[in-house]
Amino acid sequence: MIFRILAALAVVTFVAGPVDAAETKVAVAANFTEAAKEIGVAFKRKTGDDALFSFGATGQLYTQITQDAPFEILLSADDERPKKAVADGFGVPGSVFTYAIGKLVLWSKSPDVVKGEDTLKTAGFTKLSICNPVAAPYGAAAVETMKALKLYDTLQPKLVVGANITQAFQFVDSGNAELGFVALSQLKGNAGGSRWMVPQDLYKPIRQDAVLLKKGAGNTAATGFMDFLKGPEARAIIEKYGYVFGSET
Amino acid sequence: MEGLAPDLWPPIRLTIELATTTTIVLLIVGTPIAWWLARSQAWWKEAVATVVAMPIVLPPTVLGFYLLVALGPEGLGGALSGLTGRRTLAFTFEGLVIGSVIYSMPFVVQPIRNAFEAMGSRPLEVAATLRASPLRAFWTVVVPLARPGFLTAAVLGFAHTVGEFGVVLMIGGSVPGQTKVLSIAIYDYVETMQWREASLLSGGMALFAFVVLLAMALIEKRVARVGV
């Protein structure tokens, strides 16, 4: 047994790659979780460098950044916090760019539950899951949508609020809420249930910006990751998850 | 959520309601369990005691995960809530009470069990020779003798429920007046950089914890002096 562990350790040590492989710590908005993981793998394959991800609500990550979190890059779910990061002295000026534009979806695990905006109007459900509208841009977009349909006041008593979009998704996925506003990217590989792509005129486009933080300014792995995010490999992955590639617009 | 920032009272009121309800339920449910654990000769009783004590060791996420599934439409909670026309016990006050009862159980059962064990069987035997019925003996002999244990249990059960966070975060859904308790409100405030509200509530919690622990220490000191 001990021998096996030692052997495994030896393998890990040898396979660990070039000695000069660097790493960068990236704070990622929860909606981008799966795409980021895949981009991280492609990034590693191309450069040998590691991207270490921390996932959370954009607001929560930003709070941590203001408190000296060790992040070198922020992949935000909005275009406000990256701007603010630069203005507040945490971000590198000129480094902000849009890496993806997200789509909001009303989703249920059961077929026939979600049938367009009428589903919200008739409100024949008990729990509608969203994420914290102050901390998470997808939550803000959900509230914006309900307000645009003039349904926010009637729907508010039915809202359950996840700390981030992953939790909002999980409330629906576990069956505890009948439906919820989630990110299109979260439904990848999930063809079942019923869904309504919320029309873009009901909410402000979710422009997801990236910003290089000052902690990462001198790290080639960090600047390398920022460049990689603009490249064709990253683009293919971003589009695969249902986002519009940022530089397009 | 929008518009809630100025209102600090609902989470405080809700937290007190939750902790009070949980403590009452736990005293009712926990006392027979503690009694059985203190008196039973069953070889497997320590296994039961271990199950009761497990929430002390388990991460709240484990409980939160199990509860989310168990309370949901595919679990027992969904079946129960179906009786009242709902589909899940998650996101409800009742759901939080169930979670809190499990989570705070060891903090109530253990002090009561200790008190019962310290008492021994002698007082009950005496009561029996005086022809007191078991129930009467329990109320007139056991309860007064074990009062410090009950007091400790109630204070700890209440305080531990107030201090609950992980389980509520996972099954609560931050519904104002239903599941948005103090710890969740603080989390939301910090997450959204509302430092002033966060520090007000956090300061209150710190003060509360200090008072509770000090009170506990004083109770124990008094008990030690007076004797059980």
pLDDT digits (tens, 9 = 90+) for B108-128: 999 999 999 998 888 888 888
- Chain B residues closer than 8 Å to A163 by CB: 169, 174, 187-188, 191
User: What does the alpha-carbon distance between residue B7 and residue B2 come to, in Å, rounded to a whole number?
Assistant: 11
**pLDDT at residue A89 tops 50:** yes
H-only helix segments in A27-184: 33-47, 58-66, 81-87, 117-122, 137-148, 152-155, 165-173
- Higher-pLDDT residue of A224 and B191 is A224
Q: What is the pLDDT of residue B25?
A: 98
Residue B6 has a pLDDT of 56
Residue B87 lies inside a defined structural domain of this protein: yes
CB atoms within 10 A of CB A80: 15
Residue A154 has pLDDT above 90, yes or no: yes
At B58, the pLDDT band (50, 70, 90 cuts) reads very high
- Contact flag A175-B74 (C-beta cutoff 8 Å): yes
pLDDT-derived band at A9, boundaries 50, 70, 90: low
**Diameter over CA atoms, chain A:** 66
Question: What is the pLDDT averaged over residues B116-144?
Answer: 88
B5 pLDDT above the threshold of 50: no
Please give the residue of chain B at the shortest CA–CA distance from A168. Answer: B173
Lowest mean pLDDT of A12-16, A33-37, B165-169, B196-200, name the range. Answer: A12-16
According to the annotation, is A47 in a ligand binding site? no
Question: Average of pLDDT values for B202-212?
Answer: 93
The Cα of A225 is separated from the nearest Cα of chain B by a number of Å equal to 27
The 10s digit of each residue's pLDDT in A99-116 is 999 999 999 999 989 999
Three-state DSSP string of B114-150 = HHHHHHCCHHHHHHHHCCCCHHHHHHHHHHHHCHHHH
Q: Which residues, in sequence order, are CB contacts of B148 under 8 Å at separation 6+?
A: B115, B219, B220, B223, B228
- Domain count for chain B, please give it: 1
Of B69, B175, B193, the CB nearest to A160: B175
pLDDT above 50 (res B1): no
B143 occurs within a structural domain: yes
Residue A55: is its pLDDT beyond 50?
yes
* Per-residue model confidence as pLDDT tens digits over B65-93: 999 999 988 888 878 877 777 778 899 99
User: Å from A42 to nearest chain B CA?
Assistant: 31
Residue B4: inside a domain: no
Rounded to whole angstroms, the Cα distance separating B176 from A160 reads 9
Complete edge-to-edge strand list for the sheet that includes strand A73-75:
A50-56, A23-29, A73-75, A206-212, A97-102, A244-245
Residue of B167 and B226 predicted with greater confidence: B167
pLDDT score of A181 more than 90: yes
Mean pLDDT of B17-40: 96
A58 is an annotated ligand-binding site residue = yes
User: Does residue A98 register a pLDDT over 90?
Assistant: yes
Q: Residue B149: pLDDT above 70?
A: yes
- Reported as a single tens digit per residue, the pLDDT across A189-243 is 888 899 999 999 999 999 999 999 999 999 999 999 999 999 999 999 999 999 9
Is B1 contained in some domain? no
Tell me which residues of chain B have a C-beta less than 8 Å from any C-beta of chain A. Answer: 1-2, 68-69, 71-74, 78, 86-88, 90-91, 169, 171, 173-175, 187-188, 190-193
What integer pLDDT is reported at residue A28 of this predicted model? 96
Tell me how crowded residue A215 is: count the other CB atoms within 10 A of its CB.
19
Report the CATH number that the domain containing residue B117 is assigned in CATH: 1.10.3720.10
Q: Is residue B84 part of a domain?
A: yes
Separation of alpha carbons A131 and A140, rounded Å: 8
Any bridge partners for residue A195, and if so which? A107
In a domain, B85, yes or no: yes
pLDDT band at residue B27 under the 50/70/90 scheme: very high
Distance CA A52, CA A37 (A): 9
pTM of the model: 0.82
Q: Running DSSP on this structure, what letter comes out for residue A91?
A: B
Query: A6 to chain B, minimum CA–CA distance in Å?
Result: 30
Residues 6 or more apart in contact with residue A224 via CB below 8 angstroms? A24, A43, A47, A49
C-alpha angle with apex A57: A112 to B209, nearest 5 degrees?
115
How many Cβ atoms sit within 10 Å of the Cβ of residue B122?
8
B228 falls within a domain: no
Nearest residue in A to B85, CA atom: A126
Contact flag A176-B190 (C-beta cutoff 8 Å): no
Partners of A171 on chain B (C-beta within 8 Å) are 90-91, 173
- Cα of B16 to nearest chain A Cα, Å: 21
Counting residues of chain A whose pLDDT is more than 90, the rounded percentage is: 86
pLDDT higher than threshold 90 for residue B63: yes
Q: Using CA atoms, how far apart are residues A80 and B139, in angstroms rounded to an integer?
A: 64
Q: What distance in Å separates residue A163's CA from the closest CA in chain B?
A: 8
Percent of chain B, pLDDT > 70? 96
Name the residue in chain B with its Cα closest to that of A158.
B175
Q: Which domain holds residue B194?
A: 9-52+59-223
Tokens 């979190």 locate to: A69
- Using the predicted structure, report yes or no on whether residue A32 has a pLDDT greater than 50: yes
Mean pLDDT for chain B overall: 89
Q: Which of B86, B84, B88 is nearest to B72 (CA)?
A: B88
| Mean pLDDT of the B157-179 span | 92
Q: Average pLDDT in the B180-209 region? A: 92
Beta bridge partners of A159: A128
Structural domains in chain A, sorted by start:
19-101+206-248 (3.40.190.10), 103-202 (3.40.190.10)
Residues of chain B with C-beta less than 8 angstroms from the C-beta of A175 = 72-74, 78, 87-88
Both tokens of residue B1?
């959520």
What mean pLDDT value characterizes chain A? 91
Evaluate whether residue B162 is within a structural domain.
yes
